[in-house]
Structure 1
Amino acid sequence: MPAAQSTLSDRLQALVKGPQFVWWLGHVTMLTCTALYLPYWLTFNYAAGAHWYTRALLGALVSYTVVVYKSFPNIQFTAEFAQALFSEENVQYLLMAIFWWRSTPMLAPLIPYAIFAFFNSLNYTRTNILPAFFPAPPAGTTDATFNQVSAISRKIQVWTEKNHAAAMALVAYVEVVGVMGSLILGAITFQSSFLSPIVFANFLRFRYFFSLHTRAAFALIRARLDNLIVPQGGNPKVPPMVAQAYIAARGAITRFGMAAVQQPGADANARQ
């Protein structure tokens, strides 16, 4: 925690010199530009708001580039390094951000990044920015303002810890249903590339093995569809051909998801 004896200028200089500050700026940019893109999306004026879409993803690119660089500072041209690199979830989200940046603007792909950005920027504000402006007073003294800020900081910490798991579950559900659904609809209506669902399907395949929340989202969706289309004894309202097509599609998706991906021993839940 910054010392109260140091000047505000010194504390701010120390704050902005670190790569984490650039990481935080990227998250703030992502949040701000997503919020500015939302009105264009709500009014179906996608082209006019495309610049906010690309700027939002540029913010995500900045944040994830910082994290990946810190995680892999020494590049090695080996198979083991490549496997470790592409198994890292921050690398996967960085690559997807590059893909979305060059794709047709849509709101759904921005939502997971915006949720990550909200939690990460909030935590950084709590742990770095607030202490820079309101440092701890000297030992043996009290400061009413510092006490108030500390109370706010504790509330932020409690709230983020309480809601983090639910937010990550929401991200997984948005990715499986919202993003993939938007991509399939866009491809069918010729509003987006046919390549997009294929690329994102491969991303989801990795997320399935690396994220408990993604596996839970798939399990929930499958249970609901099974209950709707092929409940025990069959659903008389669903034509047999539709049920058979669903079962075939479900099997194909399962085989695709299980192919060429090795499940890690532990799940990494936190996004950077």
Structure 2
Amino acid sequence: MATSQHYIWAGGHFVLLASALRIFLSWITFGSPSSWWYKAGFLGALTSYAIVCHKSLGTPQPNAAWVKKALLDENVQYFILAFFWFTSKPVTIAILPYAIFSLFHALTFARTTLMPQFLPPGPPATAGGPPTPPPLAKKLQVWVKANYDRAMSVVAYAEILIFVRVILGAITFQNSLLSPLIYGHFLRQRYYQSAFTRHALAHADAQVTGLTTRPGIPPVVGQVWQRIRGLVGTWGGSVLQAPATPNAGAARR
């Protein structure tokens, strides 16, 4: 049975989803999304991630072992990043990965908690057996499983685009110079922890390398790109690798 904490966790995801939807609708209609929705979305993210982090790590402990464990936890990393976005000048696209995570969590919450309360159950699987979940809940479960890996790939590519955005934003003074450094460190952690991120970065690297070595492109462009690759590889601790097949994992966010 869902606890009040579980409902608060889900509420954070629903708030984030509603805020992201309002922002994306503004984009589609060529409007200017209000920073209020941006702040509300990340406040929802902070609420949900705080609960997950507490359940995973317990009460914060004033010792190096706990801090090291926390910093290596993916949910803590997303929580810290959400706090950075919440307190910084809005970078609207930054809410996209969180919105995708929240979509899947909200759908799962609706399937496992809300639908059994409001929809009639399905027929028993066997004569005299217990009723099955509502038919809509089963269809939703199939959809979530079928689209999870694809959604995580979209998140990985979106996070690369966000990194490009904050680099350009720092150059044009649209966001702080600190943003690329913080987000670059976050993306480095994602590279080591997520097969989806490794695959997306390798694919992006191959595409850019191919473009810079096409006939007619000045050789200096390819040389600059190779220099950038070398610097990124040195900073990241390893060279960019060939694409790997992402493996699905259970999202706890």
TM-score bracket, shorter-length normalisation: 0.7 to 0.9
Structure 2 unaligned runs (5+)? 239-246
Query: Match of 2:68?
Result: 83
Q: CA RMSD in A?
A: 2.6
Does residue 124 of structure 2 align to residue 124 of structure 1?
no
State the TM-score, normalizing by the size of structure 2: 0.87
* 1:1-272 correspondence to structure 2 within 5 Å: 15=2, 17-42=3-28, 43=30, 45-46=32-33, 49-134=34-119, 150-176=134-160, 178-230=161-213, 235-258=214-237, 270-272=251-253
Q: How many residues align?
A: 242
How far apart in 2 are the matches of 1:85 and 1:268?
19
State the TM-score, normalizing by the size of structure 1: 0.81
User: 1:44: Cα distance to partner?
Assistant: 5.2
How far apart in 1 are the matches of 2:96 and 2:142?
23
Q: Deviations over 1:201-235 (max 9, x none)?
A: 000000000000000011101111121213xxxx3
How far apart in 2 are the matches of 1:64 and 1:75?
14
Structure 1 unaligned runs (5+)? 1-13, 260-265
Whether contact under 8 Å (1:68, 1:91) holds in the other structure is: yes
Given the superposition, is the C-alpha separation of residues 209 and 268 from structure 1 closer, same or farther in structure 2, using an over 3 Å criterion? farther
User: 1:76: Cα distance to partner?
Assistant: 2.6
Higher normalized contact order (CA 8 Å, seq sep 6+, divided by chain length)? 1
Given the superposition, is the C-alpha separation of residues 217 and 271 from structure 1 closer, same or farther in structure 2, using an over 3 Å criterion? farther
* Moved segments of 4+, more than 6 Å: 139-143
Question: After the TM superposition, which of the residue ranges 184-193 and 35-44 deviates more from structure 2?
Answer: 35-44
Instruction: Compare CA radii of gyration and give the structure with the larger one.
Output: 1
Q: Deviations over 1:34-66 (max 9, x none)?
A: 1112244453525xx000110011011111011
Secondary structure of 1:108's partner? helix
Given the superposition, is the C-alpha separation of residues 63 and 75 from structure 1 closer, same or farther in structure 2, using an over 3 Å criterion? same
Q: Deviations over 1:3-54 (max 9, x none)?
A: xxxxxxxxxxx64x431111100000000011112244453525xx000110
